[in-house]
Chains A and B, each alone.
Chain A
């Protein structure tokens, strides 16, 4: 079974894929921070941010349809939180939308939350679709992110596929015994499955650790490839960070 839902397309060839993971991480995080700090009414700034994201996306060869569907996944969560804001601003100017009138200020908040979420999420999708997961972890490690986080994430990535397979097998075994999951008392079955999946994963972790210590593991991961920042990486980082800062300045000035 093949699973590549986290870093699908991360093995494509493109100028963006070739960049050092650190350059991408820093540049895209700068963009996210600038975007989040921009007041919702600064239309030009958001156009600039979205433009940068679009250019990187096109240069990366990652299919647009993939980026869009991934972005849409987060939209419901954002809307669930923010959709009621326009209805909750008493006083102030209102906008008539057919039979209901909503607060103008609230509408602006909703727009701000949505556009910021979409731009931030697309930055992250671009980062993970143009960087192989292990390189990303390696890059984070070099940027002094505590080893604990990177090692745990790397193992999560490695064993996620196996846990998904295991869950799939359990589900098949369950369904072959005519489980329908329609009644509330059947929720118990799902609870048991989650629990046994957890136990199995924990036992597996124990065995993996044994297999590693058997080969002399002492808590430090050997690294075979070393990362190197090249001129192109510095250039990319400088340009993206400059544009992000520029976008934020435009918001003040406009």
Chain B
């Protein structure tokens, strides 16, 4: 990989292991280095530990090992800062959206980051514009379509202007148009992106690099073409 300066590193995970309270070993000695501006697809079968790894990136879970994002070590003391830098978009928009109106939900992160009222307003407007839902502030999320909810979920994180964007299965259950639209939105964002998925097609379209996980370990890490071109590897790890 060569020598890279710290300023270029968006995510650095070293020797990370995590065991769920019920004893399940979800991560076993995981290493991961993501450079600023990269788009990485984190792939693997169900239960490979992809989502667990993502939950470590902003300290929701804390295992053994080191996790650094945007030059900050993730620990209890700098949680607020870390969560402002890493935006997590969860798979099910119902988990992400809990406020009575779209505007309040999009404002939730910025307010927690102690932005002023004027800044919050601006952040909400801008985030909704990014996802093509300007003027939806007063709509209630539970009356929107799944595709719209998905975009609002993205906006709730974009309003915090994260440097690193983590998307868990961003296009699952979306119809082809919704999918294309969502990928277009993601495509123009400048943040470093980690996309958790087992959708080969989407990985090919969006990511320059693929990290393949299985059984809590990173089993392959390389350019999208080299990893996804290896049919035997994909088959061995349940993606084909």
Contact = CB atoms under 8 A, between A and B. Distances in A.
Interface of A: 2, 132-134, 155, 158-159, 161-162, 204, 207-208, 210-218, 222, 224
A207 B94 CA distance: 10
Given A215-B160, A224-B107, A204 B94 contact: yes
Contacts of B103: 224
Contacts of A217: 108, 112
Interface residues of B, number: 30
Contacts of A159: 98
A216 to B, nearest CB: 3
10 contacts: A162-B142, A208-B95, A211-B90, A211-B98, A213-B60, A215-B109, A218-B112, A222-B108, A222-B111, A224-B104
Contacts of A211: 88, 90, 95-96, 98
Counting from the closest, the 5 A-B pairs by CB-CB distance are: A216-B112, A222-B111, A215-B109, A207-B95, A214-B88
A216 B157 CA distance: 11
Given A204-B94, A215-B160, A224-B104, A210 B55 contact: yes
A159 B108 CA distance: 18
Contacts of A155: 98
B113 interface: yes
A216 B95 contact: no
B94 A214 contact: no
B58 interface: yes
B74 to A, nearest CB: 12
A204 B95 contact: yes
B92 interface: yes
A153 to B, nearest CB: 13
B84 interface: yes
Contacts of A162: 94, 142
